[in-house]
Amino acid sequence: AQSVTQPDIHITVSEGASLELRCNYSYGATPYLFWYVQSPGQGLQLLLKYFSGDTLVQGIKGFEAEFKRSQSSFNLRKPSVHWSDAAEYFCATRSNDYKLSFGAGTTVTVRA
């Protein structure tokens, strides 16, 4: 079965600093990969997705992610974090029947 692993449970970053969130996937073929963000008590908002093609994908809110097949990774990055980026971030992969499998999430805290 397809799955993703997010090794970092919690990350604290200073406002204005760069952010990188790790995601590793397990799947033989080229996976469909997603990053979602969730603010407290809210639903999930899609940041970006990778289906095929260019391995560096741009998303909303200044986020980008890079698909690296050799490392089975799809890490999320942002060059300069804003206080409003404090949230929980989920990496997910999708099977051929459209079900999403999520990682456990990484909570991002932004300090002033």
Partner 1 sequence: DTGVSQDPRHKITKRGQNVTFRCDPISEHNRLYWYRQTLGQGPEFLTYFQNEAQLEKSRLLSDRFSAERPKGSFSTLEIQRTEQGDSAMYLCASSLGGQNTEAFFGQGTRLTVV
- Window 42 to 61, contacts with partner 1 (CB under 8 A): 42-46, 49, 51
Q: Any contact of residue 104 with partner 1 (CB under 8 A)?
A: yes
Cβ contacts of residue 98 below 8 Å, gap of 6+? none
Q: Any contact of residue 86 with partner 1 (CB under 8 A)?
A: no
Give the β-pairing of 10-14 and 106-111. Answer: parallel
Count of positions on this chain that bind partner 1 (CB under 8 A): 22
> How remote is the C-alpha of 14 from its chain's centroid?
19
> How remote is the C-alpha of 18 from its chain's centroid?
15
Angle in degrees, CA 77, 12, 76, rounded to 5 = 15
Among 31, 63, 65, 103, binds partner 1 (CB under 8 A): 103
Among 25, 34, 63, 67, binds partner 1 (CB under 8 A): 34
| Interface positions with partner 1 (CB under 8 A) | 32, 34, 36, 41-46, 49, 51, 90, 92, 97-105
